Amino acid sequence: MSAIKKRKKHVSKEDVALTISSSVGEYGENSGTLLIDLMVDILSRLPAKSVARFRCVSKKWNSLLRSPYFTNLYLRRSPARPRLLITFQAEGKWSFFSSPQYLISDQNSNLVVVDNHMDVPKDYSFGVCVPVCGLLCTRDEWVLSRKRDARMMICNPSTGESKSLPKVRSRRGKVVTYMGYDPIEKEYKVLCMTIRQRPFKFKAEEHQVLTLGTGKLKWRMLECPEAHYPHYDGSVCINGILFYIAKTSESRECRIVSFDMKDENFKFIPIQAQLSTLINYKGSLGGIRLRSFGSMDGGDTSFELWVLQDFVNQEWVSYIHILPPMWKDVVAGTRVYVVGMIGTSEIVFSPFVKSNPFYIFHLNIESNSITRVEIKGTGPREGQEVFTFVNHIENVKLIM
């Protein structure tokens, strides 16, 4: 007899409507379609913490708010309300803080108060990948490997969940990690590559990918057509394409590696610049080139902005942006790096290390104005490596 495969139950809008209708019926007679649609619309616009509280109303509400229909609707609407996300490790735990992003762009405010989302117990340090559609992944397992039970981890600050990933099997001691999202299949994937240090320093080998939400998690080997040396920082995922900075093995010239999250194919894009970081520039790939690779301070006077104008023909445009005179006094001796771009003209910079008080810097490249924004609510801790992200979105999907 042929084996019968079990299929995942698809929850449609009609199924959700019936669930809400039954639930509303418990409280009154208004269970019509109009009220049902209105409730779904209202619930999908609430903060993630409010959605979590409503899950406790009843079993039917809990089923509704965990359904694929609702979680996908919530995720589609979340980009309209992006958030600033700050995370760091201190006192044996990994803490997450966030605030609505529009507060940074408010020129009348120099203060943003963040809320604490979750704390994950961790007694060792690690890096963090750039968040993708509300999820984060720890980075570079070679740091974790000093601990016998160490694993890379996926976290969702909106739900307070975390999940350890299978250990990468390799004879190499170092692993570079990136995370992306395929909007077509609605799948999160973690891309990792082991690093060979001798005789080639930081050469990527053993490319592997892991897909979340597919039952038992397992790393799958991939073929990469070109040897390269990935840069640890500087990645961005745009419309299902993951981009990261690398160098070629022969010329050591800078390359941008693109990895299609759906087809799982690598491509290499040449660029005549040593970029420090990548950004989402109005929906296109953008990059920043700094005088001092990776960071700036008050002594800098300009930076280069590169934009991939034509992805198919691999054509770039660039220009030099002259910083405003007040940059020197506002930033002063603080070493900052580019966090990303919000809106169509605003670049955000953050220090590498947590301080008290803690400031981020907001540069409007159209008006060429710089604003220092104090971040309150993260506590009095100082000296920890801090990871700051913009355009973070809330996601109520539970990690499976």
Higher per-residue confidence, 370 vs 252: 370
| Cα dihedral sign, 144-147-150-156 | negative
Contact 262, 295 (CB under 8 A): no
Give the pLDDT score at 315.
Answer: 94
Angle at 392 between CA 389 and CA 397, to 5 degrees: 135
pLDDT score recorded for residue 27: 41
Cα separation, 209 vs 179, in Å, equals: 10
Identify whether 153 is part of a domain: yes
Q: In sequence order, what DSSP letters do the residues of 39-108 get, joined into one string?
A: HHHHHTTS-HHHHHHHTTS-HHHHHHHHSHHHHHHHHHHGGGS-EEEEEEEETTEEEEEEEETHHHH-TT
Total Cβ atoms within 10 A of residue 40: 19
What digits encode the pLDDT tens for the residues 265-298? 999 999 988 898 999 999 999 999 988 778 999 9
Q: Are residues 200 and 66 in the same domain?
A: no
Do 246 and 183 fall into the same domain?
A: yes
- Residue whose C-alpha is closest to residue 387's, from 322, 340, 339, 333: 339
Dig out the tokens for 95 from the structure.
Answer: 């803490």
Alpha carbon distance 74, 44 (integer Å): 5
Give the domain extent around 41.
Answer: 13-76
Domain final residue, candidates 30, 45, 76: 76
- Please, what's the b/e burial string for 112-132 (b: 16 or more CB within 10 A of its CB; e: otherwise)? bebeebbebebeeebbbbbbb
* Domain end call among 35, 60, 76: 76
> What is the average pLDDT across 103-112?
80
What's the pTM value of the predicted model, to 2 decimals? 0.86
In this structure, what is the dihedral angle of CA atoms 266, 338, 388, 314, given to the nearest 10 degrees?
A: -20
Interstrand relation of 111-113 and 369-376 (parallel, antiparallel or unpaired): parallel
CA-derived radius of gyration, the chain = 22
Looking at the structure of the chain, the number of domains it has is 2
Q: For residue 303, name the pLDDT band (cuts at 50, 70, 90).
A: very high
**66 plus 138 within the same structural domain:** no
Percent of the chain with pLDDT over 70: 84
Closest listed residue to residue 153, CA positions, set 187, 126, 115, 123: 126
Q: What is the pLDDT of residues 121-180, one digit of tens each?
A: 887 778 889 999 999 998 866 555 566 566 788 999 998 888 889 888 776 667 888 999
- The mean pLDDT value of the chain amounts to 84
CB 295 within 8 A of CB 336: yes
**Whether residues 353 and 217 fall in one domain:** yes
The pLDDT score that the predictor gives to residue 254 is 85
